Structure 1
Amino acid sequence: MGLNLEEQKAVDRFRKDIVEPSMTNLVVLDFWAEWCGPCKALTPVLEKVCADYADKGVVLAKINVDEEQFIAAQFQVRSIPTVYAMFQGQPVADLTNARTESQLKAMLDQLLDQLPLGGDAARQAKADVAQFVEMGEQVLADGDGERAAGIFSQVVEMAPDDAAAHAGLIRALVAAGRAEDAQAHAAALDEKLAGDPAVRTALSALELAGERVDDSELQALRAAAAERPADMEAQMAYAEAAFASGDREAAGETLLGMIRTDREWNDGAARARLVKMFEAVGLEDPWTVATRRKLSTLLFG
């Protein structure tokens, strides 16, 4: 083919990450770069719509033009963001001008009506995976982390490329007190899965689980925070331990109190930790919504 070693590696990555999935899915291919402001604005739209359309066979793939210059050149990318729809290894539509959720959904609906995506067996397999993921999430919500981990482990075996299953397994292992197992599983994920929004949320939960302590130490940290309200180190230590033990309310109120006392302490560490907790819990969670409202009132009200 006349390619050098690096170009051949780029082609192999493209085949694995985009061409192969596109044989049975509609791949939304996003060319982007870290320095591109419009790319960062478009990313949440692409992620949300592709997640909404996942059960219809739509998947999102991203190519950093700085890291994959050879592939970007093959697509004659002149500006970014550039977004294509790929099916069976070929670009079937230019989605670049679809910058809003409604525009993107309209174009995807049109494509899905025209393309023979997957088949009955493939659609049924995806439905089965989604059903088991939902089951695992419900068991996890009910507080049985160990059983949820068992369910998600089976789903990962069924669908090793399903990001929701890997994210659920990491969070379930954390809930079951098996942070080391969760860390080992996270470390084994490839770059594509590790970058999925659901997996990033799970990794935030895993990071925060590292502050878990036993009951006696938690009580000592609580007492120290109560006795020394101006001691920011003591407040932070208790907030982290409280969150790791499952007491979100105590963690949130402690961090809000720190921000109220000295929002600039340690370069805004209290606010940064609170935002990390929001990511770990999920931005739509009622606790997150309520606590973010309190934070906004505190900062801007």
Structure 2
Amino acid sequence: MNPDALRGAVDLSSLVRAAQQPPAQQASAGAAGPAPATGTGTSAVVRDVGDAEFGEVVELSRSVPVIVEFYAAGIAPALPGIVSSYGGRLVLATVDGNSSPQVAQAFQVQQVPAVVALVGGRPVNLFVGMPAEAEVRQVLDQVLELAAQNGVTGTVSADTPEEGEEEPAEQPLPPLHQEAFDAISRGDLEAAATAYRTAIAQSPADGDAVAGLAQVSLLQRLEGREASEIRDAAAAAPDDLDAQLAVADLDLSGGHVEDAFARLLTLFPGLDADGKAVVRTRLLDYFEIVGAEDERTITARRAFTNLLY
């Protein structure tokens, strides 16, 4: 990496302005609240953030390089342990792409996991998917070199437990969930899907496995495809169900949840029985990915029910 990598980056000023607004203004601007933590916790080195807090992360990157990892339901963050091992020379901000659409859109995130760096308030794309740990560390070392070239050499103090106080032990994942997580980390989506299917077969009420399988299936459908190709195909063939489903997948993976729901709900009434069955299945997958308690899911589910009766 070299300093030129910071040129032509996307403009994050709107996120900074949003973070500086009073709480009432943030709410009126439609900013989402903090994304729910998914096993990352919050510390000086690793923090889970959403739209409302992301401006603070941009500002922090002016003194210490920040790694931003986008995740979603069923795809837990993979970098907390690795970034923590750098002793405060790097900070990790984990972002739920579905719950933080403004941040996801600013970085043009099309699928998760996706990882970028912020150096001096400017973004640098790192990778989509999760490479092996050795490759991740090589990239993070390059980020530190780039940060040094741009005068961003600060550190944060890694949180340590008080004297005599033990850190709470992290709860291990169930074996099949861990198997799926490890497969996702090495980019083997088929193995992850198999692990989740096995977990569901053993325990049909395992909601986390159902959501994980839905998320992995979405990533499989988008794997190797270009966003521009998907959108061009959908625009050229508005009556092509497969093309519309693909662009809905793209919208959901990039955090445009309402757009994905609206596209499928608009398609549904004009389809034949087979097409309606396909869209129904896809919508149910989306509800699992976004979460049953999410207001966007509740609204879309209500609209879908109205279409059925």
Give TM-score, length-normalised by structure 1: 0.41
Q: Which has the larger share of helix?
A: 1
Give TM-score, length-normalised by structure 2: 0.40
Considering Cα pairs closer than 8 Å and 6+ residues apart, tell me whether 1 or 2 has the greater RCO. 2
**Larger Rg belongs to:** 1
